[in-house]
Amino acid sequence: MTDTALDTPQTDSAAAVAPGGRSLSISDSAARRVAVLRQMEGDDALMLRVTVSGGGCSGFQYGFGFDKTVNEDDHVFEHLGTSVVTDDVSLDLLNGSIIDFVEDLMGASFQIKNPNATASCGCGSSFAV
């Protein structure tokens, strides 16, 4: 199923709402970085897949990868021509989150600002709810 991003030019991210009122936002920075990575891969059909799985130092961990397939239980969120796909179970844990791409002195990475996380590890790649 495909969910459409809201056009909100006054912010630097756009939120989309999936069935059940769950939402996921993609920052402008994350959308631009995915576009650059797609161009480097030479495939404009690639979508950023974000998953949540058990493990990591805090209980759950985020996973990022590229995918061309939309499964039956997936939700697709779009912003600035970039598509992010996540499965229904992961969306439950990501609800209300913002996917961002951050570049600083420590490096560059995709980061998730998750309001559902009650704790996270120092690197930000795992969390607890």
pLDDT tens digits, one per residue of 83-99? 999 999 999 999 999 99
Mean pLDDT, range 46-64, rounded to an integer: 87
State both tokens at 82. Answer: 């970039």
State both tokens at 18. Answer: 């999936």
* pLDDT, tens digit, 9 for 90 and up, residues 27-42: 999 999 999 999 999 9
Report pLDDT for 47: 97
Say if CB 78 and CB 18 are below 8 A apart. no
| d(C-alpha 114, C-alpha 57), whole Å | 16
Report pLDDT for 128: 62
Q: Following DSSP, what letter does each residue of the chain receive, concatenated?
A: -B-PBP--TTSSEEEEE-GGG-EEEEEHHHHHHHHHHHHHHT-TT-EEEEEEEE-STTSEEEEEEEE----TTEEEEEETTEEEEEEHHHHHHHTTEEEEEEEETTEEEEEEE-TT-SEE-TTSSEEE-
| d(C-alpha 17, C-alpha 34), whole Å | 21
Q: What is the pTM of this model?
A: 0.80
| d(C-alpha 71, C-alpha 64), whole Å | 16
Report pLDDT for 2: 45
**How large a percentage of the chain has pLDDT more than 90?**
60
In this predicted structure, the answer to whether residue 105 has a pLDDT above a threshold of 90 is: no
Among 3-7, 22-26, 62-66, 122-126, which is the least confidently predicted range?
3-7
Mean pLDDT, range 68-90, rounded to an integer: 95
